[in-house]
Chains A and B, each alone.
Chain A
Amino acid sequence: MALTALAGSLTLLAQAPSTGGPVYSDSSTNLEKYLVPASGEEAAPDADGFLRRWLLLDPISKPNRSNTVFTDSYLREVFAVPYFRGQLGDVLPKDGSKIKVTVEYQPPVDLSGGRPMWSNEPVVYEKKVRKLQWHAFDSQRFNVKLFRFATNLTEDRYGVIFWAVTVVNCEEDIPNVRLAVGSNSASMWWVNGEEALILSGDRRMVADDGASRRLTLKKGRNVIWGAVINGPGMSDFCARFIDEDGHPVRNITLSTK
């Protein structure tokens, strides 16, 4: 499919952080500033190749009071937990579908409470079954602001795991590309069921913070899964494919089916 045919259905590019004039501050935090419902069957990556169409699951409560625990082995352990059917699979959940997950419950953050006085004593969290929903979004920015997804649609904001998935469609095999990701905080990424990248530790979201080994995007559908975990911090991620020269791969389309 020619990319020009998609242009009419894309509304994403104009909202990217400017690399020209001043970016005047804006205090609003409404969801539409960051994410809008996915529109159109397919979307193109933005001018810099960032993947903006994602299917996002409501955050899974996973209390962590510090991000320093996000070691490689910890990430492999928590992301190996089967949270939902089809996790890392080839068939994507449906937009709007809901799942039940047993989580360690955290009460909503009291924003008027100022800085919390945390105890060093271990906290025992009540286990609760929560109903979580999948949402198909187009990001208004190069990055996917998971934090504002959470604060606008859920009670959770810190101590959470986010699952994201998208489909990268290719008209032909595209060899020797890398998945380049930045995330806040730690994350793991899979391409067509294979682990592609892990970003461990207390991460800030930095564009192209880490990249996978060279891989081939095959003709047709390629399923990209990501999981981001955060303790106290503003969760988000950005992802794109880059070629051997570091240039963005743009001859692809994105969908959430």
Chain B
Amino acid sequence: MKHHLLLAGLGALIGLSAAAQVGAPYIHDPSTIMECDGKYYTFGTGGGGLISADGWVWNGGAVRPGGGAAPDAIKIGDRYLVGYSSTGGGLGGGHAGRILTMWNKTLDPNSPDFAFSEPVEVAHSEMDEDCDAIDVGFLMDDDGRLFCTYGTYFGNIRMVELDPATGGRLPGNKAVDVAIDCEASTMMYRDGWYYLLGTHGTCCDGVNSTYNIVVGRSRKPTGPFLDNVGRDMLRGGGKMVIAAEERIFGAGHFGRFIVEPGVEKMSLHFEADLDRSGRSVLAIRPILWKDGWPEAGELLKDGNYKILSRRRGYALELAVDFVRAQGGMRFWGRQDEPLVVLEGQKLEDVSADWPEGDIPVRANDYMARPHQKWTIEAVPEAGGYLGGPYYKIVIEGTGRALAAAEGAELVTVPAFTGAPEQLWQIDQLIDGTYRIMPKSIPGCGERLCLYSVADSTPTLSKFDFENDNAKWDLKLH
């Protein structure tokens, strides 16, 4: 019986690959993910944090002194500024809190350079004022100004400006109230807008936590931050960014990670993962920008897809003979025949005539034919990249796999072997389309993506978000 339970548990772990990070990603109140010397780091409440070599498999090991609650981190120049609150936020007790910042040259605890500077206080709250100084969040805007928000449900979310050279409070700076009834605030800057993120809902109640992340925006860092219906966050306003999903609940503590133009991720925790005993886990989701507002994208779910180019809308397909489907030519004749349901073309109708070896790919208008239907599945044992697992892309119902080939071209091979050129990184972009990149390309050291060099001709080339040739739509069929 125990054996069966273990298997069931493992099955659940495999199944969760589309929902949360793998490894042991247990954390509460994760700080914005930082990259340091090729590894990713996030810190949590109570001290310590998680490290990942690839951004998908996370385990403990990060080191943050000071204890307390809800840290954040930002890289400024060649140093990392880490903030945290030395208190824990009291409900039923006092609300005297302190926001502290400290520097480190590296986040790698094994580096000889790993040493945090002495923490300095940048903001505090009194015992019973309308603020509880915890839950720090950093933003550096395009002008190099460094802002810090903090606060909880106990009163106001406040914002102060810091000196990016010292990490201390800018002399003479006065705290500004920017929101009420939030926790885990932080700011973003994009296209002349300051965005204030906050977490609403019930914290710390496991599978019943209703934590959810909302946003407002302002042209000024001091607000007012208005939501999509013009409601000030000082009046409780906020547009939803991400809430519970089917098996994970309590989305909180937003952090933004810009991979490159057009590719953005958000880090957060879900307070309860049903597949992991209801523990609080790190999650990473794509950030989508729609009409100037951020939304959470989704990790690609295993399924059967058509892969459509943004260039023309053509579907990726095997370069095999087009086989006519049943039904014959009609135009406008034979109108007096009784209605019947025609079968769509099936794999077994056509696959016997496909070559047995490698088959090239091309793009064509979608006709729902077997050589245009792809199954995309995560390969849990293959690791991943920031926020996602590697996937295999095979013709539906077969093992024939899409692979990168010599010369930065594309091919399909008869069977998926798990080779790196058959593993695909699939990132949802900020406009909701996808970038599809092989893990590696034989004979090529560059990271290239699936690319439409002509309407009917896919290849591998450099990613450019401004170029539709580099983008694809994935639609379930």
Contacts and interface: CB of A to CB of B under 8 A. Distances in A.
B174 A206 contact: no
A18 B224 CA distance: 8
A110 to B, nearest CB: 7
Contacts of B139: none
Nearest to A21: B222
| Residues of B in contact with A, size category | 35 or more
Given A25-B174, A25-B175, A17 B90 contact: no
Interface stretch (B42-50, B150-158, B364-372, B467-475): B150-158
User: How many A residues touch the partner, as a band?
Assistant: 35 or more
Contacts of B232: 17, 19
A155 interface: no
B181 A25 contact: no
A42 interface: no
A232 B153 CA distance: 10
B323 interface: no
A111 B236 contact: no
B129 A116 contact: no
Contact of B153 (A27, A151, A182, A233): A233
A99 B427 CA distance: 64
Contacts of A184: 181
B236 A206 contact: yes
Contacts of B178: 23
Contact of A109 (B89, B92, B210): B92
Nearest to B226: A19
Contacts of A118: 92
B92 A205 contact: no
Given A206-B237, A209-B236, A234-B155, A22 B94 contact: no
Contact of A208 (B88, B174, B177, B231): B231
Interface in B54-99: 87-95
A116 B181 contact: no
Interface string B206-226: 001010000000001011101
Contacts of A23: 176-178, 223-224, 234
A41 B93 CA distance: 40
A137 interface: no
Given A204-B181, A206-B236, A234-B153, A113 B222 contact: no
Q: Which residue, A17, A18, A151, has most C-beta atoms of chain B within 10 A?
A: A17
B398 interface: no
Given A25-B158, A204-B181, A112 B127 contact: yes
Interface string B119-146: 0000001111111000000000000000
B117 interface: no
**Which secondary structure characterizes the binding site on chain B?**
loop
Interface string A20-40: 111111011100000000000
Interface string A110-141: 11111110100000000000000000000000
B156 A20 contact: no
A102 interface: no
A67 interface: yes
Given A204-B200, A204-B236, A25 B156 contact: yes
A146 to B, nearest CB: 13
Interface in A130-177: 142-143, 151, 158
B93 A109 contact: yes
Nearest to B88: A115
A116 B90 contact: yes
A19 B232 CA distance: 7
B231 A201 contact: no
B399 interface: no
A216 interface: no
A66 interface: yes
Contacts of A233: 91, 153
A183 B148 CA distance: 28
B210 A202 contact: yes
A205 B180 contact: yes
A9 interface: no
Given A25-B176, A27-B129, A209-B236, A116 B92 contact: yes
A103 interface: no
B202 interface: yes
Contact of A205 (B125, B126, B236): B236
A15 interface: no
B93 A19 contact: no
B236 A17 contact: no
B235 interface: yes
B224 A113 contact: no
A52 to B, nearest CB: 14
Contact of B235 (A22, A112, A142, A232): A142
A44 interface: no
B205 interface: yes
Interface in B161-214: 174-178, 180-182, 200-202, 205, 208, 210
**Pairs of residues from A and B, 10 with the lowest C-beta to C-beta distance, nearest first:** A206-B236, A204-B181, A232-B91, A22-B222, A25-B175, A207-B235, A27-B129, A111-B94, A115-B90, A116-B92
Given A25-B156, A182-B235, A207-B236, 15 more contacts: A23-B176, A23-B223, A23-B224, A25-B158, A27-B130, A29-B130, A68-B202, A111-B93, A111-B95, A112-B94, A112-B127, A115-B88, A116-B90, A207-B237, A234-B153
Interface of A: 17-25, 27-29, 66-68, 109-116, 118, 142-143, 151, 158, 182, 184, 201-202, 204-209, 232-234, 238
16 contacts: A19-B224, A19-B232, A22-B222, A24-B177, A111-B128, A158-B91, A202-B201, A204-B182, A206-B236, A207-B231, A207-B235, A207-B237, A232-B91, A233-B153, A234-B153, A234-B154
